[in-house]
Structure 1
Amino acid sequence: MRKVLYILSQLNDDDVDWLANAGRTWTAAVDEPLIHEGKPVADLFFVLAGEASVSVSGMGELVRLGRGEIAGEMSFVDSAPPSATVTALAGSSILAVDKRAVQARLAEDTGFAARFYRALAIFLADRLRSTTSRMKSADGLATASIVEDELDEDLLDQVSLAGIRFEHLLNTLSSARSER
């Protein structure tokens, strides 16, 4: 859940409402693929509940994404094909937001663009630090980096608000579903 806090701590309430309204949600089937390694991806995915598995050819499963995790953001930033396959596990609730819609919003709203790209930068920096830390640990090297469940002090002030925004996102999606 911590990863979504990095994203939502930088966005405002209107941004979160836009994501909820621009996206589509569903409950994933057993081993439903979201992203195929090497194939272009059209959406950014948010795991609202449950888990998704991230795997790489020849290596197997690398990690599981839980509630609040995001997938497809690397290909969004650099437009390269995905370097991993992401598969939603049975019963996972997924929000997919079309990347073209996000790009259009970025082009028309510079405030959203600044907040969104800052959020992605923080998110990706944390992922790189976590990966580096795991690699050091695997080599038996001591590490003094941020522990997996520890948040950067600069973000602590915004964590509570980000948690509220995630709940708001879930409630907005739930209300939209019940209106259909």
Structure 2
Amino acid sequence: MDNKDFLKQVEIFRDLSEDELFEVSRSLSEMKAPTGTVIIEERTPGDSLYIIKKGRVMIEKEAGERKALLAELTPPLFFGEMSLIDDYPHSAKVTAVEDSELLLINRLDLEIILNWNTVLGVKMWRSFSKVLSERLRQTNDRIFQKMYDADDTTSFQMWSEVMK
């Protein structure tokens, strides 16, 4: 399967036409990440969107000696998009759990695509927004469920303050 056909499976590209998929696929580069490879270090500048074509990666957040597994991703999922959108450093570490193949779109190529074709740009920003909204909803639900399970009234009060 060529990269253009593979992109049809990726959530943020599902609504694109054949021509738009072709344009995006022309900007892709490929990366191999053997098991154990750190693909993204937390707090480093972000410069690419990574799409998992083969393999599995884990996303971890570190605080001192403590680590939390946030997610494990497999094809055709993607990561790295947040730092392209808001220009902040990466918020987590991403490591290949098994030999993986990734497709990348770097920031400059993404900007060229989005500026070259405004219809494509609108479609992609809408897709990014939908994905980020869904991820935020899931995160909120997990946080709330953990507080509820712990019956932690202090956390509920803190959550209420944060959400104001």
1:11-32 superposed Cα distances (whole Å, 9 cap, x missing partner): 2222322232211223311221
Task: Say whether residues 1:56 and 2:36 are aligned partners.
Answer: no
Tell me the TM-score normalized by structure 2. Answer: 0.76
- Pick 1 or 2: higher relative contact order, CA cutoff 8 A, min separation 6: 1
Task: Say whether residues 1:119 and 2:124 are aligned partners.
Answer: no
Residue 39 of structure 1: aligned partner = 44
Percent identity reads 24
1:53-103 superposed Cα distances (whole Å, 9 cap, x missing partner): 111112332211121111111001100111111112221121111111011
CA distance in 1, matches of 2:10, 2:137: 16
| Contact 1:10/1:118, CA 8 A, preserved across alignment | no
1:1-180 correspondence runs (5 A): 5-58=10-63, 59-140=67-148
Larger radius of gyration: 2
| Contact 2:33/2:39, CA 8 A, preserved across alignment | no
CA distance in 2, matches of 1:113, 1:75: 17
- Normalized per residue, the structure richer in strand is 2
Q: For structure 1, which segment, 6-15 or 105-114, has the greater mean C-alpha deviation from structure 2 after superposition?
A: 6-15
CA distance in 2, matches of 1:32, 1:20: 25
Tell me the TM-score normalized by structure 1. Answer: 0.70
CA distance in 2, matches of 1:137, 1:36: 29
Shift of 1:109: 1.1
Shift of 1:134: 1.3
Relative to structure 1, is the Cα distance of residues 14 and 105 closer, same or farther in structure 2, using a 3 angstrom cutoff? same
1:143-179 superposed Cα distances (whole Å, 9 cap, x missing partner): xxxxxxxxxxxxxxxxxxxxxxxxxxxxxxxxxxxxx
| Contact 1:6/1:122, CA 8 A, preserved across alignment | no
SS in 1 for 2:109: helix
Q: For structure 1, which segment, 9-18 or 32-41, has the greater mean C-alpha deviation from structure 2 after superposition?
A: 9-18
CA distance in 2, matches of 1:133, 1:13: 36
Equivalenced residues, count: 138
SS in 2 for 1:124: helix
CA distance in 1, matches of 2:96, 2:16: 25
The RMSD of aligned alpha carbons is 1.7
